[in-house]
Amino acid sequence: MSRYLMVIAFLLAWAVSAQGARTAARILIVPQGAQNAALTPTIVISSPDLKRGSQTAVKEATLLVAGRAADEKGIASVSVNGVAAKLNEKGDFAAEILLKPGRNQVTVLALDTAGNQGFEKFEVSRQSDEVALFADEAGSESGKNYALVIGINHYQKIAQLKTAVHDAQEVARELQEQYDFTPTLLLDEKATRAAILKELNAIKNRMTANDSLIIFYAGHGWMDKVTETSYWMPVDADKDDLSNWLEARTVTDELKRSQAHQALIVADSCYSGTITRAFEPKLEQNGITRESYLRKMMVGPSRVLISSGGDEPVSDSGGAGHSVFTDVFLQALKNPIYQRFTAEELVAWQLKEPVAGRSNQTPEFKVLGKSGHVSGDFVFTKIK
């Protein structure tokens, strides 16, 4: 090889070696933060559809957030605004969160099996005209809420109870503080047949077509299986004389005469209900949302019943100072799944199984026949 060629070969070898050194130097000086960033889980949002440069807007109070999280170490958990998401082995996740009217910040947080965190943030705007929309469609823009609450422990002529008065007091307080009802309480000696009908008539006369009414009864009840007639037992009832018994049909007749838009009877007594109908809403079918379902339930006048049991005796205790039914009922009112819900949802989702699991009774929901019911259901709205 000539001296000229040897010099060229040497220069080429030196250039390759120098380039390698520079490459090695670059690898060595990668910032620690960049290395860690490469180890964090990645998140891709598929729902809602996030369009670049525009804010996502929705109408409903609930939002389904779904997507996929990935990491070489495996994804351990995903949460959306603190709500744990459902997660499969591929990293697909889904969670439903509640939105307030107006702007909502949504944070999706993924955690891998090594404890590294990755997150994505976006903003959703919920239309804030829900209250006005409900008021317009239901015709109850300025409606008031009334409650007649009856509890009897100290019967004059039949066996006394232990928890009925406390049940009534707590239900009245919860309805007033959490649901904006104006309660009228009839307890023990004040709960005669005449007094119950007098107060019901007084409330009925001051109600308008925009108002709602709840009647809660905790006390003895009886059903005549021959005539299929149900009775409530006022404080002055005599087991050998029906004259002071309050026939359930008398109450439903008063409701039929009432202008109330929606009325609900909650009866925590023996033999308080005899007819059930199944309820398993599938709101996702045919594009139906929960909000449109609730609007439909609020449109027509409704007269419905929640009973603590069907054709069987019910428990007067077992609920930490309450009956089993009222204990569960109160917990459901305090901690509902949604801020707005129907009476039928309340029974199906939060009353039936817990009560049946703790006693020999199963709560029932029924439409009150020949009482003025048109369609829909009684809709609760929690204000706190």
Stretch 182-191: mean pLDDT? 96
Stretch 227-241: mean pLDDT? 84
Residue 51 has a pLDDT of: 74
pLDDT at 140 over 90: no
d(CA 117, CA 236): 67
What is the token pair recorded at 327?
Answer: 């204990």
DSSP character for 384? -
Q: What is the pTM of this model?
A: 0.60
Percent of the chain with pLDDT over 70: 75
DSSP character for 225? T
Q: For 98-130, write each residue's pLDDT tens digit.
A: 998 888 999 999 999 999 999 999 999 887 654
Domains of the chain (ranges plus CATH)? Answer: 39-128 (2.60.40.10), 132-381 (3.40.50.1460)
What are the residue ranges of helices labelled H in the chain? Answer: 3-28, 32-37, 130-138, 164-179, 193-206, 248-257, 290-299, 324-334, 343-346, 352-358
What is the token pair recorded at 356?
Answer: 């049946």
Lowest mean pLDDT of 45-49, 69-73, 226-230, 360-364, name the range.
226-230
What are the E-state strand segments in the chain?
Answer: 42-47, 56-58, 62-70, 75-80, 83-84, 86-87, 92-98, 102-112, 117-126, 145-151, 182-187, 212-218, 221-224, 229-232, 246-247, 262-268, 302-307, 340-342, 364-367, 379-381
Mean pLDDT of the chain: 79
Q: Are the C-beta atoms of 169 and 99 separated by less than 8 Å?
A: no
Q: How far is CA 367 from CA 189, 273, 372, in A?
A: 31, 11, 10
In this structure, the number of other CB atoms found within 10 A of the CB of residue 116 comes to 16
Residue 92 has a pLDDT of: 96
Residue 282 has a pLDDT of: 42
Q: Are the C-beta atoms of 230 and 272 separated by less than 8 Å?
A: yes
d(CA 171, CA 177): 10
pLDDT at 243 over 50: yes
pLDDT at 31 over 60: no
d(CA 376, CA 262): 9
Lowest mean pLDDT of 20-24, 47-51, 324-328, 356-360, name the range.
20-24
Percent of the chain with pLDDT over 90: 40
What is the token pair recorded at 195?
Answer: 């007094």
Lowest mean pLDDT of 71-80, 158-167, 178-187, 269-278, name the range.
269-278
Lowest mean pLDDT of 38-47, 66-75, 194-203, name the range.
38-47
Q: How confident is the model at residue 242 (pLDDT cuts 50, 70, 90)?
A: confident
